[in-house]
Every structure is written in structure tokens, then in C-alpha cells.
A and B are shown apart, each in its own frame.
Chain A
Amino acid sequence: MLRIEDLTKTYPGGRTALNQCALSVEQSQVVAVIGPSGAGKSTFLRCINRLVEPTQGRIFLNGTEINALGAKKMCRIRRRMGMIFQEYNLVERLTVMENVLSGRLGFVSIFQAIFRRFPGADVELALEMLARVGLSGYENSRADALSGGQRQRVGISRALMQRPQILLVDEPTSSLDPKTARTIMSLIAELARENGIPALINTHDVGLATEFAQRIVGLSEGDIVFDDFPKNINASSLTRIFGEADWKQMGDSGHHTTGRALDEPLTEDTGKTVSLEPIKA
């Protein structure tokens, strides 16, 4: 599905953010990319949809070599790559519905975009998506009137409106409280599975990563230093990724601490359906 070879990014000024990274995702799995701030996680994701231009390397999505495409063709590929952001990046002054429908921008004409005349099927899908993420009835609210968790749900809906072949998720929970973070992370993992697409999720929350991902990739200073199942993460691998610290505090696998409200029961069943609480404005 996704194959990355020899990916290197050097920013103007000489800072190397990624150093010959290679990654292959052959099934619809949730891959958590963990690493400290500045490890190159954001650059890594943005090189895949070329919001950041890679310096070197090859990226294949379902057989298409992405890094070789011209601007027009890149836009066509990008419409099938959903992206979710740390700061949600909703267009604040537009309504929830307009934001969700913006996921279809790559597929409609400029006039449809100007007058917001999206095809009926798109509107229908948008309403379904909003219902799916628990935001029914919020179609006409302005994005800047929502809470953080609600905004991220809109962001998720926007990405899925693209009927993506891959989800690129950049620190989806860093701006959220621990409980909302869990709900959002679980929602993203669930939607990726439902749609049968791979999801690359950047996070520095090891707890959430081990709980919701099927695979963990560790980035440290632009190098991939870990790539394995969540259960194989231990103190020494965490040290390799994040540096020296007392990892004992996190528990053996880093499972049971961060991102989990203390009174919630522990469960190994990461696939359980998450019921979304009723949302208040």
C-alpha cells in the first residue's frame, strides 16, 4: 500500500529532519509514529503528501510513485490522502458542514466550490460522517464555536470525506485533555479499520500509541530507530527513541499510564467500540 524508500529531508539552512528513512505498510493497519518533539515526525508525514517537498527518496502509494508527480497530478493523488492535524486546522469562520464538505474540494468544480453547491451524494455522506462522529445537528454551527474535541471530530470527518486511501494523522490528541484524547484516538483507529485503510499517526503519547496501534515506528533525530509490535516496546527501546529517562514509571509496556483516565477500567481489547458521549455546545 505505502512504501517509502530512502526518504531524506534537509531544510534550507542545512538542518536534516529525516535521514534515509524507509517504511513499508502493506496492510490496513494503524501505525503509530512516536518520537520526541523535533524528531522529524511532522516532516515525515508531510513528505508523504508532499506538503513538505522531500529532498531525496521515493514514495509509492498503491503503486504510484508520488514524489515523481507534477503539481496537477499531485493534487489528484492528494485528494485521496486524508490528513488530520494537531490544531485541527478547520477554517474557523466557516460552518461545520462547509468544513466537512471541504474534503470533497478536489472533486468538485471551482464554481461548485465558490457557491458551495456540492453534489447531493457528498452532502449525504457529510451528514452520515457527522452522525458517525457524534456531531449530528451541528451542521450550521461555526467551527470556531466548537470545543477542541468537537473540532477534531470535524477534522476527522473532513479527512474521511475524501474517501482516502491512507490517513495521515499529525499529533491528533496533543491539544486535547486525556479523556477526549483517548476517545479521539480510538475513533481514528476505528475509522481506519472500518474503511480498510492504513493510518500513520504521529504522537508522543506512548500509552495511546501502544494501545491503539498495531505497529509502532520510533523516530529519533530523523532516523527510524524502532519498528515493531507495540508489545515489544520496552524501557531500552524507549530510551533509544526518546533518550534516557526512568521508563519504569510507565509500566512494562508503557500501557497503563498516559492518556487514560484513572478511574477507567483497563482493557486489552483495543477494538472495542467507543461510545461517544453526548456533546454539549
Chain B
Amino acid sequence: MSHSDAEAHTLRPSWRPRPTIRNPWLRWSLLIGCGFYIIYAIGDVHLNPERFISGIPRVAEMLGVMLPPDFSRWDLLFSGILESIQMAIISTALGIVLGIPVAVGASRNLVPGPVYALFRGYIGMVRTLPEVLIAIFFVKAIGFGAFAGMLTLTTASTAFVGKLLAEEIEAIDPGQVEAIRATGAGWSKVLIYGIQPQVLPRYIGLSIYRWDINFRESVILGIVGAGGIGATLYNAFGRYEYDFGLAILLVMIVVVLIAEWGSGEIRSRIQ
């Protein structure tokens, strides 16, 4: 560094934000590496502009056939939607009740280590699998229909409530629990008197949120044969009845929106 350079530096001090990755070698090699990987990946998924362009008229054609939506078989549509809603309600009711023991078992501050590991293992396993995969399993095990869908959603709900409620239980104020313990209350009384009041609002919120999720999921599960409106939709597309398909989609969207709005409304009121 020459003398004049140093002088310029002292005259005009410059400041730059510190880069997230401080080592320049690491920073640049990561960036270049990512660039190469993306180029490689594009080749791997057969990204083909010609195919994309040739598909556009087909999409337009399909949309043309879809319109106007065909509501003539409304009874089929209605019974499908009803089955989905009932699946959602029953599995939510079962799931949020069975989720309580799961949550208790998965709370580090309530149960001994092995029990905790067991319940966390269950939650981890169920939550790793998407609902559709669980549904495929139940359909294979007990056959097509809403029953398989209901079991799927119930199972998923127990893991959902179990995990999120357990997190709430682990974050409670230990002082309140200590005080109830000091009165000579045993484990179960501490649970209902010292812990339940602290986590109840969260539990109610979770339950409503899960009902909302279950409804959306119940719509999809039919695609793998687990009952509900999804099955009707799948069949409609299979028979190229796009206009009926669009009718089903529209009704699904409306019902999901209503469910989401309703659950948001209720949850905002209990917080």
C-alpha cells in the first residue's frame, strides 16, 4: 500500500456491512457452487420450453370445456361435500380428545424419560408422513371409503394436538404447579388444577385450527380412495368431465374459505 493510498483511506473512511459469510473463499465458492447446481438440476427435470408452449393450447381447450361449470349432478356433489365435512368433524372430535394424553406423554416436565421418548417418537413418525400417505396405508388396511379417511385424520390430529399442546405444557409457569404440589395434590390433581387452566386457551385455539386443517385435508383424501368429495373429483377428471370437475372445485373452494374464515373468527375471539 503506497503512502497516498493510506492517506486517501484516512480522509474518506468507508464502511460496508459485514457479509453474512465472512470468509470470502467460502462465500464465493458457495455462490458459484449453487449456480452450477441449478444449471445441472434444470437439465435433470427435462425443462423443455417447446413442451411448455405446445401445452398452452391444451390448457386453453381444457378451460373451454370446463366452462360453464356443470352443477346438474348437485346431489352427487352435495353428498360428497357432506361426507367430507362429517369426516372432518368426527376426526377432529376424536383427535383433539386423544391428543390430550399424547400431549401429556410428550411433555418433558410431566413424565419420565422413556415415556417421553415413546410419545415423541409417535408424534415424530406421524408428522413426518403427509396425510395422503397415511390415508393410502389405511385404505390398504381397511378398504376404500370415509372410514379410512376418518382414521387418517384422527391419527394426524392426535400428533398435531400432541406436539403443539406439549410445547405449551412445557412452557407453563412452574411456580403455579409448585404451589398446587405443595398443597399435597397428587400428579392427576396437579394436572387438572395447576396445568389445565394454564393451557386451556391454547388448546381451544389448536382444536379449532385443527378442524380447519382436517376439513381441507378431507377434501384431498378422496383422491387416494379415502372417501369424501375428493373421490368424486378424481372420478370426474378420470372421465374427462371437466365441467363437473370445475363445479366440484368451486364448491370446495367456497366451503374451505368458509371454514377458514369461521375458524379464524372464533380463534380471534378466544385469545
Chosen A-B contacts, 26 in total, with CB atoms closer than 8 Å, are A51-B178, A51-B181, A72-B186, A75-B184, A75-B185, A75-B186, A76-B184, A78-B182, A85-B178, A89-B175, A89-B178, A89-B179, A90-B176, A91-B197, A92-B173, A93-B201, A94-B193, A102-B179, A102-B180, A105-B183, A105-B184, A105-B185, A105-B193, A106-B184, A110-B192, A113-B189
Expressed in whole angstroms, the minimum distance between the Cβ of A51 and any Cβ of chain B is 6
B215 to chain A, nearest CB (A): 30
- Are A79 and B184 also in contact (CB < 8 A) when A87-B175, A89-B176, A91-B194 are? yes
Is A49 a contact partner of B182 (Cβ separation < 8 A)? Answer: yes
The residue in B182, B189, B198 that gathers the most chain A C-beta atoms within 10 A of its C-beta is B182
A23 to B123, CA, bound (A): 49
Question: A94 — which chain B residues lie within 8 A by C-beta?
Answer: 193, 197
Whether B183 pairs with A106 at a CB distance below 8 angstroms is: yes
Distance to closest chain B CB from A220 (angstroms): 25
Query: Which chain A residues border B186 with CB–CB below 8 Å?
Result: 72, 75
Q: Name A's B-contacting residues (CB within 8 A).
A: 49, 51, 72, 75-81, 83, 85, 87, 89-94, 102-106, 110, 113-114, 155, 158, 162, 168
Q: How far is the CA of A105 from the CA of B173 in the complex (A)?
A: 19
Q: Are A78 and B183 in contact (CB under 8 A)?
A: yes
- Name B192's closest neighbour in chain A (CB-CB): A114
Which label, helix, strand, loop or mixed, suits the secondary structure of the B interface?
A: helix
The CA-CA distance from A87 to B176 in the complex, in Å, is: 9
In angstroms, Cα B195 to Cα A113, docked, is 13
Interface residues of B (CB under 8 A from A): 173, 175-176, 178-186, 188-189, 192-194, 197-198, 200-201
**Contacts known (A75-B184, A80-B184, A91-B198); A105 close to B179, Cβ less than 8 A:** no
Contact of A77 among B184, B192, B201 (CB under 8 A): B184
How far, in angstroms, from A75 to B179 measured CA to CA in the complex? Answer: 13
B180 (CB) vs chain A CBs: closest residue: A102
